[in-house]
Amino acid sequence: MGLIRLMDEPLSNKIAAGEVVERPASVVKELVENAIDAGGTAIEVLLLEAGLTSIQIVDNGAGMDTDDALMAFSRHATSKIANEHDLFRIRTLGFRGEALASIASVSKVTLHTSDGKTGTFVQMEGGRLIEHRAGSLRKGTDIKIDQLFFNTPARLKYLKTLQTELGHTIDLMNRLALSYPGIAFRLVHDGKAVLQTSGSGEIKRVISDIYGVSIAKKMIPFESESNDYKVSGFASLPEITRANKNYISLFVNGRWVKHYAIANTVHKAYHTFLPLERQPIVILNIEGDPYLTDVNVHPAKQQIRLSKEKELMELIHSTIRKTISSVVRAPVIEQPKAQKSAPTRQLDLWKSSYTVQEPPAGETASAPKPQLQQQPETALPGIPTDFPEDTRQPSSGLRQSSADIELPADSVQPEEALSREESGQEMDQFEDAGPQFPELEVVGQIHGTYIVAQSSDGFYLVDQHAAQERIKYEFFREKVGDIDAGERQALLLPLTFHYSRDEALRLKDALEVLSESGVFLEEFGDTSFIVREHPTWFPKGFEQEIIEELIEQVLDERKVDVKKIREEAAIMMSCKRSIKANHYLQKHEMERLLADLKAAEQPFTCPHGRPVIIHFKTYDVEKMFKRVM
């Protein structure tokens, strides 16, 4: 007798539940998606004990008639697709017809639903029908999941703390709210509202509901399209940063998806606007023919396979980069409106985030006098003058976006701490100020580190190291990008490099790429290489180091990306010989530096994303001194 037999439905559902129902948040996801597909405009989620005790979802959508209400719990029961053709044209969030069956198989479910004509009540337990009868005629659906995983104790064990589980659900609800600003969502945990959106249709309002008003004010809208895709959304100003990519929310045709490559592209669009390792907040909506966006990759429908991915990535990159480039400028030190009596507090904040040297309160005059224009002892290595004169102008063909500011991570808060009242204030500044580099007159230098300069609208502190890094970066970036035109210089003694066998193999594959960024490696036996010459623009004394670092980059990357290598090479070289702090400059050197900075494409940040220049507005300074109120 054969050993194989078909499983009964509750068993196969329970197995399917293994993939679809991982934790309370996955139940919430499936049920809220159903409510959205049913056209609900107000959706409420009520949790007890992070959903472990119960999860209830109430919507005002289309509801179901009695037959459908019973049918809905069968595996493969769906109203959303009818044939194979539909599978490639999915416009709903659900389509697999397995969520309700899976959820019901591992919990106790009560369902009240009505399409306005019939009302139905259904009760299930462990996937088996317990009871059904006529019920209320309130149109919509009210579904409650009690004792999730009551019959699959192993699953329960995998759950994390209540706090973590709740965190997953809040995160999910945030994303749903962001992708459906027209729906009023409410999430209530143990009687307390955790999230509530208005359903007004404005994403910006949802952003504000979720991340707070001050963040919302610093989110810049964007929108553009290519042949096949349209992208739109909001991108944070570079002054707002986060430690991880969790704040990059990606939606494809209304579906929240996780897509490593897209998130990475978004991050790259901020390159040199943000400090390394920091991430922006971005809401990115991608719309395209469902035919191009295959969501039938995983039961949880959070992964997606995209056609014409390259086109889409370019669209995303250029759109976000342009958006950010167009709004950044030097950060402004402002007098807090509500804190008129405590100017020092604000300075403290800046000190902590920028290490701006602050005169001790009330004793400016007696503080050690900044040494203005002290003579340097020797000619300074690394002052911009050591660039070959004729090659200093950054090429205009090198579109490396524009300037930017970046306030360190926690600088989002200062503004709240300072309780600035006017909400529209900062946005307005960005809108009408534009990234214009001011006309500056050098006043002097502080601590051999900051150049003090003035213009008609106040005074400025320029971090000389950061400024020179920016200038050099743009210089090298052009150089690294234009290797063929560059002259080479022979080394007196060839340099030798040794690598392990597998590294050597990888390097042999990358010889061409390396030569494109100025490293001319020649094979020398199995695992060694020599370099006989290098481009003339390699900073003197750093040849070996630079070549090693470039090789390292190639070895680190899984795939070789010339553009990226060039970019990183430029950043690295710009850093190598830039004037450090504690270096006294002569006035003409400072003037030269500021003039070069002004000519830079992005004068406001160094290539690592830190600010180069800080503006103290005349008006704000006057307010600090109480000359004006």
Which spans of this chain sit near ligand ADP (rule: CB under 6 A)?
Answer: 30, 34-35, 38, 59, 61-64, 68, 72, 77-80, 94-101, 141
Q: Which does 49 bind (CB under 5 to 8 A by kind): Mg ion, ligand ADP, none?
A: none
Cα gap 114→100, rounded to integer Å: 17
Q: Please provide residue 87's backbone torsions phi and psi, each rounded to the nearest 5 degrees.
A: -60, -25
Structure-derived torsion over alpha carbons of residues 152, 155, 157, 160, reported in degrees to the nearest 10? -140
Shortest gap between Cβ of 49 and Mg ion (angstroms)?
24
Contact of 80 with 72, CB cutoff 8 Å:
no
Q: Which does 141 bind (CB under 5 to 8 A by kind): ligand ADP, Mg ion, none?
A: ligand ADP
Minimum CB distance to Mg ion smaller for 113 or for 323: 113
In the DSSP assignment, the letter for residue 6 is: P
Comparing C-alpha atoms, which of 116, 39, 120, 118 is closest to residue 73?
120
Minimum CB distance to Mg ion smaller for 255 or for 472: 255
Comparing C-alpha atoms, which of 252, 176, 243 is closest to residue 210?
176
Residue whose Cβ sits closest to ligand ADP: 94
Q: Which does 553 bind (CB under 5 to 8 A by kind): Mg ion, ligand ADP, none?
A: none
Shortest gap between Cβ of 93 and Mg ion (angstroms)?
7
Contact of 492 with 498, CB cutoff 8 Å:
no
Shortest gap between Cβ of 51 and Mg ion (angstroms)?
17
Q: Which does 346 bind (CB under 5 to 8 A by kind): ligand ADP, Mg ion, none?
A: none
Cα gap 554→292, rounded to integer Å: 33
Shortest gap between Cβ of 254 and Mg ion (angstroms)?
14
Shortest gap between Cβ of 195 and ligand ADP (angstroms)?
19
Shortest gap between Cβ of 271 and Mg ion (angstroms)?
39
Q: If you write DSSP's letter for every residue of 497-525 in order, what string do you get? A: EE--HHHHHHHHHTHHHHHHTT--EEEET
Minimum CB distance to ligand ADP smaller for 280 or for 299: 299
Shortest gap between Cβ of 73 and ligand ADP (angstroms)?
8
Q: Which does 406 bind (CB under 5 to 8 A by kind): ligand ADP, Mg ion, none?
A: none
Q: Which does 77 bind (CB under 5 to 8 A by kind): Mg ion, ligand ADP, none?
A: ligand ADP
Minimum CB distance to ligand ADP smaller for 92 or for 400: 92
Q: Which does 72 bind (CB under 5 to 8 A by kind): Mg ion, ligand ADP, none?
A: ligand ADP
Shortest gap between Cβ of 159 and Mg ion (angstroms)?
22
Minimum CB distance to Mg ion smaller for 37 or for 406: 37
Minimum CB distance to ligand ADP smaller for 94 or for 126: 94
∠ Cα 318 320 325 (to 5°): 90
**By CB under 5 A, is residue 240 in contact with Mg ion?**
no
Cα gap 333→620, rounded to integer Å: 8
Q: How far from 234 is each of 6, 24, 217, 266, 321, CA to CA, in Å? A: 50, 29, 11, 11, 12
Rg for the chain, CA atoms, rounded: 30
A 10 A CB-CB count for 504 gives 18
Minimum CB distance to ligand ADP smaller for 101 or for 312: 101
Cα gap 232→224, rounded to integer Å: 6
Q: Which does 235 bind (CB under 5 to 8 A by kind): Mg ion, ligand ADP, none?
A: none
Q: Max CA-CA distance within the chain?
A: 101
Q: Which does 64 bind (CB under 5 to 8 A by kind): ligand ADP, Mg ion, none?
A: ligand ADP
Residues numbered 47 to 106 that lie near Mg ion (CB under 5 A) are 94, 99
Minimum CB distance to Mg ion smaller for 76 or for 89: 76
Q: In what order do the strands lie in the sheet with 229-236?
A: 219-225, 229-236, 282-288, 248-252, 255-257
A 10 A CB-CB count for 82 gives 9
Minimum CB distance to ligand ADP smaller for 118 or for 385: 118
Shortest gap between Cβ of 67 and Mg ion (angstroms)?
18
Q: Which does 61 bind (CB under 5 to 8 A by kind): Mg ion, ligand ADP, none?
A: ligand ADP
Q: Which does 97 bind (CB under 5 to 8 A by kind): ligand ADP, Mg ion, none?
A: ligand ADP
Tokens of 90: 């999915």
Minimum CB distance to ligand ADP smaller for 95 or for 211: 95
Shortest gap between Cβ of 427 and ligand ADP (angstroms)?
38
Contact of 190 with 48, CB cutoff 8 Å:
yes
Q: Which does 400 bind (CB under 5 to 8 A by kind): ligand ADP, Mg ion, none?
A: none
Shortest gap between Cβ of 33 and ligand ADP (angstroms)?
7
3-state SS of 216-250 is HCCEEEEEEECCCEEEEEEEECCCCCECCHHHEEE
3-state SS of 72-125 is CCCCCCCCCCCCHHHHCCCCCCCCCCCHHHHHHHCCEEEEEEECCCCEEEEEEE
Cα gap 57→47, rounded to integer Å: 9
Q: Please, what sign has the CA dihedral across residues 198, 199, 204, 210?
A: positive
Shortest gap between Cβ of 30 and Mg ion (angstroms)?
5
Contact of 256 with 268, CB cutoff 8 Å:
no
Minimum CB distance to Mg ion smaller for 30 or for 567: 30
Shortest gap between Cβ of 173 and Mg ion (angstroms)?
16
Minimum CB distance to ligand ADP smaller for 75 or for 317: 75
Q: Which does 35 bind (CB under 5 to 8 A by kind): ligand ADP, Mg ion, none?
A: ligand ADP
Q: Please, what sign has the CA dihedral across residues 158, 163, 164, 167?
A: positive
Minimum CB distance to ligand ADP smaller for 66 or for 553: 66
Interacting residue with Mg ion among 13, 26, 34, 241 (CB under 5 A): 34
Tokens of 370: 């900044």
Using CB under 5 A, list all residues that contact Mg ion: 34, 94, 99
